[in-house]
Chain A
Amino acid sequence: QSALTQPASVSGSPGQSITISCTGTSSDVAAYNYVSWYQQLPGQAPKLMVYEVNNRPSGVSHRFSASKSGNTASLTISGLQAEDEADYYCSSYTNSIWVFGGGTKLTVL
């Protein structure tokens, strides 16, 4: 069982928006603004998509946005494209260690 809870799967049609939730506790997600999101394509390494709750690294599409409220963080992908189909993981720093969610498989219909 992963430390952070994510839905196992979400799906959407091209052009639509989807949101992936990531629920932690008062010790991790709620306690620090150090939530990050990673995209993992099949057979590849995770790629940083969002850091420190809602910041995008250079080169990441503006279609990716994120937020946090209490012990739940969220990643929203707008204008879904076929290339967005991947596994998405959230992560939070907590007390000198990092915890991850179990991952959410995004299917673009």
Chain B
Amino acid sequence: QVQLQESGPGLVKPSETLSLTCTVSGGSISNYFWSWIRQSPGKGLEWVAYLYYTGSTNYNPSLKSRATISIDTSKNQFSLKVKSVTAADTAVYFCARRDYSRYYFDSWGQGTLVTVSS
């Protein structure tokens, strides 16, 4: 069974860049879509971005081009960078998997809390 594990700094300063990595184990990163989804403290879920293992990507317009998602198939990892962060980017960030031609997320990581604060 596939497992996803997020990793990255838990604290980022305002105006700097948030960087997270999701490591996929128990299965190949190929042939699937991979997403980042975040949850602000005490609030709902917000889809951030996805990429296909071939490198095609799409982003939530709400992030206004601040986000970049990328993949390293040799390491079975994909990553998220969000630049110019503010307190509003404080959230638990989840990585999640979506099967080709499916429109739901069937496997999720446990999530990692990122706090934006000076």
Known: A45-B111, A46-B108, A52-B103. A103 touches B45 (CB 8 A): yes
Please pick, from B58, B102, B105, B110, the residue contacting A96 in the complex, using a CB distance under 8 A: B58
Task: Kindly report which residue of chain A lies nearest to residue B108, judged by CB atoms.
Answer: A45
Cβ A48 vs Cβ B106 within 8 A:
yes
Q: Report if B104 contacts A (CB, 8 A).
A: yes
Most chain B CB inside 10 Å of its own CB: which residue of A45, A57, A89, A103: A45
The answer to whether B45 touches A100, judged by C-beta atoms less than 8 angstroms apart, is yes
Is B110 in contact with A45, judged by CB distance below 8 angstroms?
A: yes
When A45-B109, A96-B58, A97-B61 are in contact, do A102 and B44 touch as well, CB less than 8 Å? yes
Residues of A within 8 Å of B, CB-based: how many?
A: 24
Q: Please, how many angstroms separate the alpha-carbon atoms of A100 and B26 in the complex?
A: 28
CB-defined contacts of B47 to chain A, threshold 8 Å? 91, 97-100
Contact, CB under 8 Å: A2 / B44: yes
Residue B75 at the chain A interface, CB threshold 8 Å? no
In the assembled complex, A44 has its CB within 8 A of some CB on chain B: yes
Q: How far is the CB of A104 from chain B (nearest CB, A)?
A: 10
B106 A44 Cβ-Cβ under 8 A: no
* Interface pair B104/A51, CB less than 8 Å apart: yes
Residues of A within 8 A of B35 (CB): 98
* A98: min CB distance to chain B, Å: 4
- What is the interface of chain A, defined by CB distance below 8 A to chain B? 2, 32, 34, 36, 38, 44-48, 51-52, 57, 89, 91, 93, 96-103
Q: What are 27 sample pairs from A and B whose C-beta atoms fall under 8 A apart?
A: A2-B44, A32-B103, A34-B103, A34-B104, A36-B105, A44-B110, A45-B94, A45-B108, A45-B111, A46-B108, A48-B104, A48-B106, A51-B102, A52-B103, A57-B106, A91-B45, A91-B105, A97-B60, A97-B61, A98-B35, A98-B47, A99-B47, A100-B44, A100-B45, A100-B47, A103-B43, A103-B44
- Residues of B whose CB lies within 8 Å of any CB of A are 35, 43-47, 58, 60-61, 94, 102-106, 108-111
